[in-house]
Amino acid sequence: MNIPNNTPAILSNFLIYLGAVRGLSSATIQEYYLDLRTFFRFLLIHRGLADVDAAFEEISIQDVGIELIRGVTLSDLYDFLIFLRENRPKYHKSATTPYGDEAGTRARKIAALRAFFKYLHGREHLIEDNPAAELEIPKAKKQLPKYLSLEESVQLLSSVDGPYRERDYCILTIFLNCGLRVSELAGLNLGDVSDTVMRVTGKGNKQRMIPLNDAVREAIRAYLPHRIEPASARDQNALFTSRNRNRISVQTVKLVVNRHLERAGLSYKDCSAHKLRHTAATLMYQNGVDIRTLQEFLGHEQVNTTMIYTHIENVAIREAVDANPLGKVHSDSAGAETPVRRDETQEETEET
C-alpha cells in the first residue's frame, strides 16, 4: 500500500515491517493502518489532545509519537474496546446508522493492537512493557455463510445486462466458478490467465493456480474484445477495468455484484460479492469435492476455516429431512399397526 504522507513515523515503520518482513499483502496492511489510525484518534481524545470541535474522522494522527504510546495501559485498551462497542457508527456516511462494532470487527482491531505493541516491545524495544499482551480477543458468534442455490446462481447469470454486460458476466462467472475473494478478482492481470488455468494472488501474497472450466474460458473470451483500455501505464495489465479507464476497484466490484443481484430479484437473499465465493464453495462441496481439495482451491491456510462448509451441508440435510411429509405422521394419529411377522421360509426366499 502507499502509506499516506501524514502517517506518523512510528506507524509507518510498523507498516513497512508488515510488508517487508512478514510479507503481508497491501490489502491486509491497509486494514492494519485503518485500525491503528482509529486507535490513535481515540487515544488523542482520551488524553485530551484532540480538537474537541473536530469530527472523529478528521482528527490528525500526524503528531503521534513514542512518548504517547509509552503511556498506553491495558485499561486504555479496555476503554478503546468499550468505545468501539458503544460509540462507533456502523455506517459512517449514514445519518441514521446504528452504533457499535460487531465482535468480529473488534477482534480484528485487537489483533492489530497486539501485533503493533508486540513489534514495539519485542522487535524494536521501544517500550518496556507490552500492554496488549493480556488483551483477549472477543469470541465472534459463528454464523453459517449465506450463499445462492444452483437455481439462483443460474438466475443471476441469466439476468446480466447493461453497457458492461460482457465484463460483468465474466466477473460473476469467475466468482461462481473459481471462488475468488473480491480483492483477488480486482487484482487479476492479463498475464494471470491462460486458456487452462488462472494464477490467483491471495492473502499474504500467496499464489495458487485454479483450473478453468468451459464457462469461465468462454466468459473471458467474450469479455476481452470489450475490455476498456486503461489510461495509466500502472493499470495496463489489469484484467478488469472500469469506465474511468483504470483497474477496477474492490468497491466497484461490490457495486457491480449488488446491482445484478437486485436486477435478478435476489437482493432479499442478503448476498454480496464475497458470498458468491461461499456459493462456489458450497456447490462444490455439495457435489462431492472433498474438504482438503476445497481448502487448497479457496486458499485457506487452515482447514478449520474450510470446515464451515460441512456445517452448511448438515443444515441442508436437516432441511431435506424436515421437508419429507412423512415426518409429520405419528403412530398415535395414524393408529398403531401390528407388524407383519414373516416366517423363516419367506425370509430365506427373499434373501435368495
Identified catalytic residue from 37, 108, 260, 300 = 300
* Alpha carbons 131 and 72: distance in angstroms, whole number: 7
Q: Which residue of the set 109, 114, 181, 275 is catalytic?
A: 181
Neighbour-count burial for 258-282, b at 16+ CB within 10 Å, e otherwise: eebbeebebeebebbbbbbbbbbbb
- Known catalytic residue at 300: yes
Q: In three state form, how does the secondary structure of 89-105 look?
A: ECCCCCCCCCECCCHHH
- Spot the catalytic one: 109, 277, 278, 285: 277
Q: Is the sign of the CA dihedral 169, 172, 176, 182 positive or negative?
A: positive
* Strand stretches in the chain, DSSP E: 197-201, 207-211
Q: How far apart are CA 40 and CA 194, in angstroms?
A: 45
Which one of the listed residues 274, 328, 330, 341 is annotated catalytic?
Answer: 274
Choice among 119, 147, 169, 309 that is catalytic: 309
| Strand blocks (E) in 248-329 | none
Q: Please, which residues have CB within 8 angstroms of residue 238's CB and are 6 or more apart in sequence?
A: 188, 189, 190, 230, 246, 247, 248
- Is residue 309 part of the annotated active site? The answer reads yes
Residue among 46, 146, 165, 203 flagged as catalytic: 203
Phi then psi dihedrals of residue 201, to 5 deg: -100, 115
Active site residue 181: yes
Distance CA 250, CA 32 (A): 17
Verify whether residue 92 is a known catalytic residue.
no
Is 277 among the catalytic positions? yes
| 3-state SS assignment for residue 238 | strand
Note if 275 is an active site residue: no
Positions marked catalytic: 181, 203, 274, 277, 300, 309
